[in-house]
Structure 1
Amino acid sequence: MNAPEPARDDLYVDAAYDMIVVSNRLPVDYQAGPDGETQWKSSPGGLVTALEPVMRAADGAWIGWAGVADREFEPFDNDGISIIPVPLSESELEEYYEGFSNDTLWPLYHDVIAPPSFHREWWDAYVRVNRRFAEAAARAAAPGAVVWVQDYQLQLVPKMLRESRPDLVIGFFNHIPFPAYGIYSQLPWRRQVVDGLLGADVIGFQRAADAGNFSRAVRRLFGYTTRGTLIEVPADDGEVRHVVARHFPISIDAAGFEEIARRPEVQARAREIRESLGNPETIMLGVDRLDYTKGIRHRLKAFGELLRDGRLSVEQATLVQVASPSRERVETYRQLRDEIELMVGRLNGDHSTLGHQAIAYLHHGYPREEMVALYLAADVMLVTALRDGMNLVAKEYVACRFDEDGALLLSEFTGASDELRQAILVNPHDIEGLKDAMVEAASMPRRERARRMRALRKRVRDNDVANWSATFLKTLTGAGIIAPGVPDALVAGLRRIASTERLLVALDFDGTLAPLVDRPEDARATGRARAAIERLAAADDTRVAIVSGRALESLRTVADPPHGALLSGSHGVELQLDGGGVTIDLRDGELAELQQLTRVLEESASSVDGAWVEWKPAGLALHTRRVDQAQAAELQRSVRERVASELPELTVRAGKNVLEFSVRPSDKGEALTRLRQHAGASAVVYVGDDVTDEDAFAALENDDLGVKVGQGKSLAAYRVRSPEDVALLLERLADERDVARNGVSRWP
């Protein structure tokens, strides 16, 4: 497979998505159907659970590898989320993934528990694949979109995105540890990796110590100033860009695990498991990927010595070890499996009886319901990782124990140990200490187990995976996960501005009053939004304006504005104030440019099915919403290049699935200023969803109120989720204006 062309500074393309997640793997698994057709199966995990709500609300896309080498798949939708597969060749899978990611970075970042390998061809593949992921994100991202890159396989993507798309808001989360500089400095490409990460606006880590290690690496390698969690990164324009590097400990869907645990059939299965093991007094459970960082050998050694010394017997205790397959094409992992299975065989041969097995070793994965049954059956959960970014198994066990029973033995070298302080904390390298802790857990009184488990469960419930993602996104964008409805802070803002003497309510149309549709001529405001607008427009002390990038004629048709409404079309080039429309007279040079632009766009659009051109008084717009994503990306890129070459003075705007060109510059900020002056407004409410609305938000004054619809970088102080919530906002504003006039409220 040939690598894609390098990213360019002018790479603005399909511009479709306000929120993009980039990870090595997609949240779906490829399956070949019975007749050879492509099928996809959701692979629910903590990350997917955390991000599904915000992805759906923000018209989000997920970019990742489909899990099949040497296959290319077209983008598709899965359960409300757009999926954009990135291809990998077999050689790239070996060099980028199995090689550099898992035989160089993984052991290095886990304190060199196993020796890392350094190969230049692996590094070259890592760079090449990271660029492919970055270009896919750059093509798919709307102007000002949020791009959240996940994990150590893609550490170069933030800077690559920053260089090609400086308009984006970029976050990165490292799910594994970040090592101390003395260890990290062994990496031959240490500067390139840190520099790649510094392309992000926010870099998240599991533990405060990991964030501190990263900041120290930045100081040692680049000499940049760091203050607390802030890193000052010099920008190309001579300014300083502030990057946040701090810990955001990841978690689980605690409520989801508890719901499964409370199902009668799952509890019945837990009883079956105990019976199948001979109903021992104590079942100890280990659940891990088969990985040398998990401390499985230490756990087996400690348990074997307890049996050998008679401190435990097979009649008293059984160890169940679930070791799901992991990276079995990597030699280190094959050797680990052989070693562990040899240990299990020896211990069972030495200590098992006909009626009681010492160790039940299970080398395969299980569905979630079966895992929850195992958690309920286990008296002691053993988490003995030698180094782990978090270890979510510990949190899963706690979430399932609604009976407030069970004991958690937890390595102090896991991120979870920072939060789950009521667990029995151990150093797994200390075999004697580990043995003592296992006996303590097995013999702990019921009251003490319940006391500890109550505290652990409160911690896990209060800090679940939704809280994790909301906290990260709030740090990144100021928004977090946007809940439906009108947030309390915005209600307070509406109440404040409702008492102003003369109010202007200015509203974008597409994506704000009207949901986005494939055919722009079909767009209509929601019924509730229109009713609220009519209420507002009917009052003498309130003016309503609709501010759009559409041509004024199109806006009149789709918006059907209420009597007395002010209109702004073509990004402020056209205004309809009281007494009729304001038309513009183009100069001869502008008319010639418009004629040449028309020829370029019509020629380009005619070559791609579904593309079409919208004529405006001072420009044209190329629409690609009905075009296949890959074709749309290429079309927008080629049109940009051609217009930049032939008509370099034109104003260009990228919106959602649209490129707009104007021979006379104007923007929504200028339009809002003119509308404010015409209305004589003492304060303004402006609501919009697109990057073009940022000019209007920038024009707001101290007493005004700006509301962004959906995700994305924004100057607006408030946010709502969707056009449906805009309708609620306008209803509430109309009610608050009534209260300000009459002193009667229907709200508590």
Structure 2
Amino acid sequence: MPTHDLVVVANRLPVDAHTEPDGSVRWVTSPGGLVTAMESVMRGVDSGAWVGWAGSPGEAPEPFEADGMQLYPVDLSAEEVRAYYEGFSNGTLWPLYHDVIADPVFHRTWWDTYREVNERFATAAAQVASPGATVWVHDYQLQLVPTMIRTQRPDLRIGFFNHIPFPPFELFAQLPKRNQVLRGLLGADLVGFQRERDALNFLTCVRQLLGHAHSHHDITVPGIGSEPARTVTARAFPISIDTQAVSALAEDPEVIERARELRRELGDPKKVVVGVDRLDYTKGIRHRLKAWGELLNDGAIDPHDAILVQVATPSRERVDAYRQLRDEVELTVGRINGDFAPIGRPAISYMHRSFDRREMTALYRAADVVLVTALRDGMNLVAKEYVASRPDEQGVLVLSEFAGAADELRAAILVNPHDIDELKTAILHALAMPEDEQRTAMQSLRRQVLDNDVQGWAQSFLGELEAKGRPDEPAAAPLVRLAQGSAPSAAQLDAALTSFASTPRILVASDFDGVLAPIVADRDAAAADPQALSALRELAESEGVNVALVSGRALEDLDARTGMPLSVVLVGSHGAEVGALPHDMDAGTLDGDALRMDEDDQRLLESITATLEQIATKHPGAEVEVKPASAVLHTRRARGRGRINATEAALEYARSLPDVKVTPGKEVVEFSVVDSSKGEAIATLARACAADAWLYLGDDVTDESAFERLGDHDLGIKVGAGDTAATFRVDSPEEVTAVLERLLALRRGEG
């Protein structure tokens, strides 16, 4: 049997069997978010395989190739489908992981079958993986597979991605066999989730139930017997879509004409509102229908002018809860049509069937509004597909805040679908939105989706997985975009600022010392330029702009020196401390980088502080600053060679602390017992406010972690001399003030 360098393991193969009239079997690409996301990834791999169930109970077909993918079917009996798939996966895990919207059911025999089937998938994957290969396991049906593969093939690099939400501790703790599920997942080197809060839930469950320590997103899994301890990383990797394929369809003249035909077939209403979902109780279809029915009853919507098109793809029709949901939805649609439909046209056009991608893209292009009202959803790719289908920059997305897509698509109309009044208001707002407002919102949404496609998602996950478990590799050289003394011209910087200012949603972030405030011998005397602070305050009050100050100073000190309003986010201690957030930033995203200190961390910090104070005593003028999560040796005021000697003594001491993050800076060495960096802080802030692009100003080596993360649309401005990963350079805080004032003027349209 051939082996492969990348093996994807999922419950289903990415194809369905279609029997032709002559009895032959033809394999066609199947619908679904995972398949849509992964098929383009698999086609770009030189030696890849996909292990999964072929979709029919009984003996599995022989391995075969379809759509350029090498596929290895796993067999499931009818009883295994009932107990493993319909039972434990979708009767127990699915409702529990979706906030118990429906009551989960547990049977011990379901668990036994779930474990046996997971073992079969693990064995199949282990058999087709090349030595040292990467295995990527997907979703809640296969949570035991990572550890089972590791037991058989410890040479493999293993990743796991959870496509659905991961529940908070209070819900997950209700799951029988909960510890076995956690240990199964911890067989992976990297565990990925859709949202930051899902990763945090997982980390909390691991700490509370297994007692494993974790620092930031890294979990220390103790070795058993002679096995060494392992580090497992758990963090968010928001999934996306194949934007190139969707965009190509959206520009196809036949699809555009089909969109016009659809509107004609619907009676040429003024507004077409669309919902596209699997028929699942987590999707909020009942809430959506209730809101639409009430709007019709209130007279707020005229059924002659507007129509709701609801596509409900069949799903798990052998499960009682899903059969009941279908009955309820169809009864509701029938009642609303009976009460409100004009002659010759329904008030709701309901279709309980699947559509191919061309037809769906045409429907998205025909839609004036798309409603994504999930009560709980890992991501929801419908929202992203709609955005990618609108190159005309028209249309409105109404998006549930309980869908993972809400973390990124902040320019949508975000709504709590449990609040029917709020949902009705959101629908009316969407129907009345002017074209220019639609365009502004859609530009922001499209940038988020088009700049973060499925290829980027896969490369991000696989890239981090590839880097795991290789401590002997030399550290990568620092990224340098501007060498000492080099810088683009002032005109080039102004052009970049002009382009940046036109971006719909932006994050403007800055260091404090050496950027807003000149470096002075007495750090307690540092004071920011009042004009710079004023420009930042005014930017923070501007539509579509978030502002943050990210400093090595303690949060309390930073707050006292700047006097910023709550609209400006303050981040202290190189990202370990985060202040209050404005209303338009997602607090859940920031929780992953908030300060977390336990008793061991506190004792370690006290020990480090005592040693640094001894160093400072031996080198007059050196000082020790204690922050909530770190201790800092400042050597700026040390006399003579004391500055160099104190720094060398601190770095020598650092070599005895392998678990402490040590950051040398300008006449400063910081010892952090909680892992944090300005780069991680900036990336997290950008996610929290769903910024289309960000600007960062910094002067220190600690700022390079932010500059290294610059994307194509982001701006990094280094203040002062030295090699840097920033894209532009200015000489002084005075020039920083000029940059901020220029950006403010451009944002106001003052040119």
TM-score normalised by the chain length of structure 1: 0.61
In the TM superposition, 1:505-654 aligns within 5 A as: none
Residue 365 of structure 2 corresponds to which residue in structure 1? Answer: 376
Q: Which runs of 5+ in 2 are unaligned?
A: 469-476, 482-751
Higher relative contact order, chain-length normalized (CA < 8 Å, sep 6+)? 1
Q: Which of 263, 271, 293 is equivalent to 2:252? A: 263
Q: 1:311 to 1:35 in 2, by over 3 A?
A: closer
Q: Do residues 314 (structure 1) and 317 (structure 2) align?
A: no
1:240 to 226, 229, 244: 229
Deviations 1:428-484 (A, max 9, x none): 0011111011000000111100000011000100001000000000010039xxxxx
Contact 1:59 1:81 in 2 (8 A): no
CA distance in 2, matches of 1:178, 1:442: 34
1:211 aligns with 2:199: yes
Cα 1:266–1:54 change in 2 (3 A) is closer
Q: Which residue of 1 aligns with 2:10?
A: 23
Alignment equivalent of 1:435, drawn from 409, 412, 424: 424
Give 1:408 deviation, angstroms: 0.4
Q: What is the letter of the counterpart of residue 278 of structure 2?
A: R
Equivalent pair of 1:206/1:415 in contact (CA under 8 Å)? yes
CA distance in 1, matches of 2:215, 2:239: 24
| From 196, 203, 213, the counterpart of 2:184 | 196
How do residues 307-346 of structure 1 correspond to structure 2 at under 5 angstroms? 307-346=296-335
* Residues 1:266 and 1:136: Cα distance change in structure 2 (over 3 Å): same
- In structure 1, the residue matched to 2:337 is 348
How far is the alpha carbon of 1:33 from its aligned partner?
A: 4.0
What letter corresponds to residue 286 of structure 1 in structure 2? Answer: G
Q: Quick one: which of 59, 69, 73 aligns to 1:81? A: 69
1:391 corresponds, among 374, 377, 380, to 380
Q: C-alpha separation between the residues in 1 aligned to 2:478 and 2:33?
A: 29
Aligned equivalent of 1:123: 111
Pairing 1:99–2:87 present? yes
Contact 1:56 1:80 (8 Å CA) reproduced = no
**Aligned amino acid, residue 308 of structure 1:** N
Q: Which amino acid aligns with 2:406?
A: S
Which residue among 185, 204, 216 is the counterpart of 2:173?
A: 185
Indicate yes or no: 2:40 matched with 1:42.
no
> Aligned partners of 2:158, 2:12: CA distance in 1, in Å?
19
Which residue of 2 is the match for residue 174 of structure 1?
162
Alpha-carbon displacement from aligned partner over 1:670-699 (angstroms, at most 9, x marks no partner): xxxxxxxxxxxxxxxxxxxxxxxxxxxxxx
Counterpart contact for 1:46–1:251, Cα < 8 Å:
no
1:592 matched residue in structure 2 = none
1:80–1:372 Cα change, 3 Å: closer
Correspondence for 1:419: 408
Equivalent residue number for residue 449 of structure 2: 460
- Matched-pair contact (CA < 8 Å) for 2:150–2:187: yes
What is the identity, as a one-letter code, of the residue corresponding to 2:197? A
Matched letter for residue 453 of structure 1: M
CA RMSD in angstroms comes to 2.1
Q: Distance in 2 between matches of 1:86 and 1:413?
A: 34
**SS at 2:272's partner residue?**
strand
Offset at residue 40 of structure 1 (A):
2.0
Distance 2:310 2:41 in 1: 34
Shift of residue 45, structure 1, vs aligned partner: 5.8
Determine which of 22, 29, 32 is the counterpart of 2:19: 32
- On the 8 A contact 1:46/1:253 being kept in 2, the answer is no
The DSSP-based 3-state class of the residue aligned with 2:8 is: strand
Q: What do the CA deviations read for 1:219-262 (whole angstroms, capped 9, x no partner)?
A: 01111011111011012225220001000000001121111111
| Residue type of the alignment partner of 2:95 | P
SS in 1 for 2:71: strand
For 1:409, the aligned partner's letter is: V
Describe the SS at the equivalent of 2:192: strand
Distance 2:159 2:439 in 1: 39
Shift of 1:51: 5.3
Question: Could you tell me which residue of structure 2 aligns to residue 160 of structure 1?
Answer: 148
Q: CA deviation at 1:189?
A: 1.0
Task: Give the secondary-structure state (helix, strand or coil) at the position aligned to 1:176.
Answer: coil
2:388 corresponds to 1:407: no
What 5-or-longer segments of structure 1 have no aligned partner? Answer: 1-13, 480-487, 493-748
Deviation at 1:354, TM superposition (A): 0.3
2:49 to 52, 58, 61: 61
Partner of 2:240: 251
Aligned length, in residue pairs: 472
CA distance, structure 2, for counterparts of residue 388 and residue 207 of structure 1 = 10
Which residue number corresponds to residue 591 of structure 1? none
Counterpart-to-counterpart distance in 1, 2:81 and 2:30? 20
Cα distance between partner residues in 2 of 1:489 and 1:333: 54
Alignment check: 8 A CA contact 1:376 1:400 kept: yes
- 1:293 is paired with a residue whose SS is coil
CA drift of 1:157 comes to 0.1
1:297 aligns with 2:286: yes
State how far apart, in whole Å, the 1-side matches of 2:266 and 2:29 are.
Answer: 33
1:46, CA displacement in angstroms? 5.6
Aligned equivalents of 1:399, 1:69: Cα separation in 2: 37
Q: 2:103, 2:397 → 1: CA distance?
A: 30
3-state SS of the aligned residue for 2:259?
A: helix
**Which residue matches 1:133?**
121
Distance 2:291 2:44 in 1: 47
How far 1:138 sits from its partner (Å)?
1.1
The answer on 1:446 being equivalent to 2:443 is: no
Q: Residues of 1 paired with 2:84 and 2:366: CA distance? A: 40
SS state of the match for residue 287, structure 1? strand
Deviation at 1:17, TM superposition (A): 1.3
Structure 2 CA distance, aligned partners of 1:400 and 1:330?
33
- The whole-number CA distance in structure 1 between the counterparts of 2:328 and 2:407 is 31
User: 2:372, 2:400 within 8 Å by CA — same for their partners in 1?
Assistant: yes
Whole-Å separation in 1 of the counterparts to 2:67 and 2:439 = 40
Q: Report the equivalent of 2:713.
A: none
The AA in structure 2 aligned to 1:40 is W
Question: Which amino acid counterpart does residue 17 of structure 1 have in structure 2?
Answer: H
Q: Deviations over 1:289-341 (max 9, x none)?
A: 00000000000000111110111110121100000100000010000000010
Distance 1:252 1:282, change over 3 A: same
Confirm or deny: 8 A CA contact 1:201 1:476 kept in the other structure: yes
Cα shift readout 1:528-548 (whole Å, capped 9, x = no counterpart): xxxxxxxxxxxxxxxxxxxxx
Instruction: Find the counterpart in structure 2 of residue 476 from structure 1.
Output: 465
1:42 offset after TM fit, Å? Answer: 2.8
**Residues 95 and 332 of structure 1: CA distance in aligned 2, closer, same or farther (over 3 Å):** same
Cα shift at 1:50: 4.0
CA distance in 1, matches of 2:110, 2:3: 33
**Percent of aligned pairs sharing the same letter:** 59
Shift in alpha-carbon separation, 1:255–1:46, aligned structure 2, 3 A: farther
> Aligned AA for 2:154?
P
Give, in angstroms, the shift of residue 36 of structure 1: 3.4
Name the amino acid aligned to 1:163. T
Taking the aligned partners of 1:466 and 1:321, their CA distance within structure 2 comes to: 30
Amino acid in the other structure paired with 2:364: Y
For 1:299 and 1:45, the matched residues in 2 are separated by 22
Measured after TM superposition, the shift of residue 54 of structure 1 is: 5.3
